[in-house]
Structure 1
Amino acid sequence: MRDNLVIIRVDGGICSQISFVALGSAFEAKGYEVQYDLSWFEEQGIGAYNPSNGYDKVYNVSFDIPKAFPTLPIKIAEKTEAKHYKRFYFANNDNIITFSPPLYVGGYLGRHFDGYFKELFRQHFIPKESEQRDTAFAKVKEEICSSMACGVHVRRGDLSGFHPVYGEPTALEYFTKAISLIESIQPESVFYIFSDDVKWVKQHFPPILKDRKYRICDVNTPSEGYLDLYLLSLCKNLIGSQGSLAMYAKLLSPHNPLLICPKIRDWLFKQEPNVMFVNWGEAMQLQPLELNSTISYSPPPHYLPKTNSDYGFIIA
Structure 2
Amino acid sequence: MITVNLKGGLGNQMFQYACGRALALKNATGLSLVRSQHSRDVSRPFSLTHFNLKAEIISGRKSPFFLKLKERLKQKITGDFHVGFDPKVLQLGTTAYLDGYFQSELYFKDYEESIREDFTLKEPLSGNKTVIADIIRNDPNAVSVHVRRNDYLTHPDFGGVATREYYNRAIARLQENIPTARFYVFSDDIVWCQTELTSLKDATFVSNPELKDFEEMFLMTLTKHHIIANSSFSWWGAWLGQNPTKIVIAPERWSNLNEDWYRDIIPEKWIRV
TM-score interval w.r.t. the shorter chain? 0.7 to 0.9
Match of 2:4 in 1: 8
Give 2:199's match in structure 1, choosing from 208, 212, 218. Answer: 208
Structure with more relative contact order (C-alpha pairs < 8 Å, separation 6 or more): 2
The AA in structure 1 aligned to 2:179 is P
Match of 2:272 in 1: 277
The AA in structure 1 aligned to 2:207 is D
Q: Work out whether residues 149 and 187 of structure 2, in 8 Å CA contact, stay in contact via their aligned partners in 1.
A: yes
TM-score, structure 2 normalization: 0.79
1:242 positional shift: 1.2
4+ runs deviating over 4 angstroms: 109-112
Q: CA separation of 1:150/1:83 partners in 2, compared to 1, >3 Å: closer, same or farther?
A: same
Match of 1:75 in 2: 56
The AA in structure 2 aligned to 1:8 is V
Q: CA separation of 1:113/1:125 partners in 2, compared to 1, >3 Å: closer, same or farther?
A: same
Match of 2:257 in 1: none
Show CA shifts across 1:32-87 (max 9, x none): 3321111337x43233xxxxxxxxxxxx231x2221x23x3221237312133446
Match of 1:187 in 2: 179
Match of 2:99 in 1: 106
Count how many residue pairs are aligned between Structure 1 and Structure 2. 249
1:216 positional shift: 1.1
Show CA shifts across 1:260-291 (max 9, x none): 111224623443x3x1111xxxxxxxxxxxxx
Give 1:249's match in structure 2, choosing from 224, 237, 251. Answer: 237
TM-score, structure 1 normalization: 0.69
Q: Work out whether residues 152 and 240 of structure 1, in 8 Å CA contact, stay in contact via their aligned partners in 2.
A: yes
The AA in structure 1 aligned to 2:167 is F
The equivalences for 1:1-316 within 5 A come to 5-28=1-24, 29-40=26-37, 43-47=39-43, 60-62=44-46, 64-67=47-50, 69-70=51-52, 72-77=53-58, 79-86=63-70, 89=74, 90-93=77-80, 94=86, 95-100=88-93, 102-108=95-101, 112-128=106-122, 130-132=124-126, 134-135=127-128, 137-147=129-139, 148-164=141-157, 166=158, 168-205=160-197, 207-209=198-200, 212-220=201-209, 224-256=212-244, 257-265=246-254, 267-271=264-268, 273=269, 275-278=270-273
Provide the aligned C-alpha RMSD in A: 2.7
Q: Work out whether residues 6 and 33 of structure 1, in 8 Å CA contact, stay in contact via their aligned partners in 2.
A: yes
- Structure 1, gaps ≥5 residues long: 48-59, 279-316
Q: CA separation of 1:176/1:20 partners in 2, compared to 1, >3 Å: closer, same or farther?
A: same
Q: Work out whether residues 2 and 94 of structure 2, in 8 Å CA contact, stay in contact via their aligned partners in 1.
A: yes
For structure 1, which segment, 18-27 or 99-108, has the greater mean C-alpha deviation from structure 2 after superposition?
A: 99-108
Q: Work out whether residues 3 and 34 of structure 2, in 8 Å CA contact, stay in contact via their aligned partners in 1.
A: yes
CA distance in 1, matches of 2:103, 2:236: 18
1:19 positional shift: 1.2
1:153 positional shift: 0.7
SS at match of 1:116: helix
CA distance in 2, matches of 1:128, 1:213: 32
Q: Greater share of helix residues, 1 or 2? A: 2
Q: Work out whether residues 161 and 253 of structure 2, in 8 Å CA contact, stay in contact via their aligned partners in 1.
A: no
